[in-house]
Structure 1
Amino acid sequence: MPSDDLELTLGLETTRKELAVSFGGEGAAERASQPGIVPMRASNKLFVFSDPHKSKEHGYNFDGWAEGDDLGPVFDYTGTGPVGHQKMPGLNGTLLNHTAQGLELYLFISDGYIKPGGAKKQRFVGRMQVDAVDPYVERWDYDSNGVLRRVFVFRLRPVDLEQTDMRPEDAVQVATKTEAVPIPKLKEPVKPAEPGAKSKKTEKHSTGQTTATIPGGERIVNRREGQLVTAFEEHLDQAGHAFSSFQITVEGEPGTLTPDLYDETDHALYEAKGLTTRSNVRMAIGQLADYRRHLKNPETLRVAVLLPSEPTADVKALLKAQGVHLVFRTETGFSGFPLPAA
């Protein structure tokens, strides 16, 4: 049985071994050197450890407090698996489904050493939960062998903001250079984390809507954009076009820019929107203008907005005035594709 001699309170500094002994039950101390996701099932807890000093060594440079949104702050946490594409079963699946498995989630950040040459000091950040609506995003980075691979970046939200140790130095690291990394479009789906669980790709979903319970009540999340991108990828594939995307980092800024789709055959960049409204189209125009500045041969790169239906005449005129092509879904396919010759 786990002991109660260690209390998870704000400001706690401890070690992984102490946590394992206190909360892991018989033999748990042996798990102190496990990867950063450590279930303590004897105590119905799941500990995750973020180590900014080792992150780049393993291709993990996404961890930290992100910009957040209207629901509050978000801590980005990269899943486990230092070599090759990360997989969702196993420990990553446990983190994804911690609520369903009855595990309370606790976040720690590595913060120096207990003494020179001693164990790493773990600073308790607070109790968290994986975001119910967008639990993770897919990102790309180089593993310890220098191979580009997919990683899962989980979006963790504080359960109690007043009991969360948020520090400026724990923010997501800013990029040291501006770079657009070409990334492939993986055709194999993410394997379900648990039997019967639905798989999730970045912004791709099999149903039109998802209902999720979050701290604010029920929220209906529209997935039409993901459906639209998936359908257009199939359309491109049938047309014999190769496609991929980019992950763009900007010097001095945290996070990444991720265009929806790049048609390699036509040297064309697409930004998809799930709603055919003026505000969505205006946003897409701005995103495309931002993306193209960071890509090779921007003077010959064609850009297009991908929509689920035909917009109004004035919105069409807006796109034309900005030199942005329009492709929209119809009952029989996609109008506006292929793009007119440059």
Structure 2
Amino acid sequence: MPAWVLVCNPAKFDLVGMMRDGKKPHAWVIGRYRKEISRGEPFALWLTGSSGGIVAIGEIAGLPHQTAESANAEYWADPPTEERWVVPIAVTHWMDPVVPRDVVKADSLLAGATPLTQPFATNPHRLSEDQWQHLMNLTTQPGQHHHAQDPNGCHLDPGQEIRRVELHQRYGGSGQGGISPSRTTPNILIFTDPNSGREHGYYDEWAEDGTFHYTGEGQIGDQTFTRGNKAIRDHMQDGRALQLFEGSRGTVRYVGEFALDPITPWSYGRAPETGGGPERQVIRFHMVRIGAPVLRSDVPVGVGYREADEEVVPAPAASTPNLELNGRNLRAHRRLQNQLAAGLRDRGIEPLSPGPSDPDFDLAWRPGPGCLTVCEIKSLTPTNEINQLRLGLGQVLDYVDQLRSRAETVLGLLWIERTPTDSRWIELCHRAGIHLAWPGMEQKIAELEEL
């Protein structure tokens, strides 16, 4: 995995002032490597000048995109006004003190790195895995301290429970409502409650693209970008973090930090008003998780199964040249999911949909005490079969790994539309420790045991 260095010229952007004010950048201007940089890759923020060095470390939070907005304009000496390429980032640690430039230069492997040899080259600078490891070794020397995120960030571990009253005492914001922007810390506290939200038309759930869809506020009439909805929409340019919690009253559970998807930050949907009133337009915020998922073993997996809408029609997009084929695949996926859920219920097993604390699997169930089966579903056509199998296998392996600490035994299942054309996939999945199955094998997968 590549690693990156993002360079900051203090004469152009006051990064130290931002850190002092308890804020953090959510995006960085780049000019190259746009097709190579990916979400989840690590980066270091490098401050140029004789007193500069490593200021922060973090991870890439999304894909590069173009924007004309000028986030955190007050910290720019001359805010850019033209459209430019930026990459979303998530600062995970501020360095205290800054790792000095001379210390980095003294490392034999890092001395030739482009942040030192070409400090005014276009962002980002690329590091090899060995160079990144050397850089990280320098950040863990005696006397070096990491401040998680920023001085006023949300210092909770994913899965940790806290009384909502205490939460607001620590981080500000109103104790009422689902969206609570803080005036005292750079946070927007967001609450999702699968038990009570649906009576108000709040259908929060993981989407098939891996984003968490969160319904905006407003129980009567069409929702608009005012108050909490405006705060979420503008969170990046305002330097605020989206902190998601499960539950709405009493004790709530921290899910983690999120950011709006930079490509499709929101969409519109239809939902009834509070109490089953007429349908109105609602805002669906598309939120991407930043940082580690929930690892605590005491957090239950899944919520009651949500029937998938098989009549869904995908929205036209430049990246979707064949809308009819794309719609066929999506409908087939949801039909397979609903049929498998029904088959499990017929055998006395309750299917589960992912909750906000879970990875975005399609189905899960508990075949026995201490055991969890997690399932990814893939439709197949002659032209996409190989890509779908590759993608599905990787997804199931990721789900199993993320949920390993939350059940004694986690079984992975890839459920596909039909028998694979190439039978080698059956043995390949078996070697990877993943079950591969398709319609007609419901009884077998209901009785799954470890490979």
Q: TM-score, normalised by structure 2?
A: 0.37
